[in-house]
Amino acid sequence: MSKSSFKIEHEFEKRRAEAERIREKYPDRIPVIVEKAERSDIPTIDKKNSHYDPDDHQYILLCLLRAVCDLVLICQLPFLVIYLVPADLTVGQFVYVIRKRIKLSAEKAIFIFVDNVLPPTGAIMSTIYDEKKDEDGFLYVTYSGENTFG
């Protein structure tokens, strides 16, 4: 898999400092970089609709907070979204939110990969983060309509 667009666009020290700042300010959240796989024909996440929805009580799962909004706008990369994910969220719930954000129909498949590996749907995001976070402090997730790496 190619290097993350976010890593290419932003130097390591800036990424590390931003991840540290986010973790200090929001200790119950995990900074996650979400990118669509390069050759996937799955829809792209609509950044405009990637926000906290206070009325969605069952799935108050992900929010693109103002604290990281500038990074998304600065980077101007079409397939990149940064989320702050609740630490107790499961991978399955995370996939649900991505599916919802890209308005993917129920009959279409979606897969997420961390380090080119399909994580178990029941795994807790904080566990995945602890095991797979990058040295810059972000967790990098790629989504695709195909089980590309598995």
| pTM attached to this predicted model | 0.75
Fold annotation for 5-144: Ubiquitin-like (UB roll) (3.10.20)
Which residues are CB-contacts of 120 (< 8 A; sequence separation ≥ 6)? 91
Q: Where are the domains of the chain?
A: 5-144
What does the pLDDT profile of the chain (150 residues) look like in tens digits? Answer: 557 788 888 889 989 998 998 899 989 899 999 888 888 878 887 655 444 444 443 333 333 333 333 333 333 344 456 788 899 999 999 998 888 888 888 888 999 999 999 999 999 999 999 999 999 999 999 999 876 555
